[in-house]
Amino acid sequence: MAIRTYQEFTPQLGERVFVDASAVVLGDVHIGSDSSVWPLVVIRGDMHRIRIGERSSIQDGSVLHITHAGPFNPDGYPLIIGDEVTVGHNVTLHGCTLGNRILVGMGSIIMDGAVVQDEVVIGAGALVPPGKVLESGFLYVGSPVKQARPLTDKERNFFSYSAANYVRLKDQHLLEGYAG
């Protein structure tokens, strides 16, 4: 695991966080308790902050970055991820905000300034354009993403199940010494 200080910022990890030995986490990054960062993930808080809540998982090959402050965006955009968020394999999150209890499907891209409210499912391969707001309680699919339908009760119950499943899995990886 490469936990790297950048300038004056060293990533802060909550209790029982798993970061795979092949992942890179650097700069102004805070990861909440019981969260997990899987193989080949890059979390780069080098020019703005990244905050990941509790019981969230960032799966293999995902890239998390920010939007820096500059002449075209005076405040920039941090990357904020809430609690019980499951980020699928090979996802790109860039300067966006994700609420709580969200599933981001494999290969999705969520762009600068986008906001995903609580309890949302984003289908695999979706593109969430800059500044788009995804309303709570719906499934979104496509490129660019479109609201498909309201979530079922079964889908809403899956958020906590998925979070608990990844907490158990990361605990097993910690026991077997797979963290860096």
pLDDT digits (tens, 9 = 90+) for 86-102: 999 999 999 999 999 99
In angstroms, the Cα distances linking 32 to 14, 18, 63, 82, 88 are: 5, 10, 18, 9, 18
Q: Mean pLDDT across the chain, nearest whole number?
A: 96
Question: Do the beta carbons of residue 52 and residue 31 sit within 8 Å?
Answer: yes
pTM: 0.97
Q: How many Å is the Cα radius of gyration of the chain?
A: 15
Q: What is the CATH number that goes with domain 2-175?
A: 2.160.10.10
Dihedral of CA 173/81/74/129: which sign? positive
Return the domain boundaries, the chain.
2-175
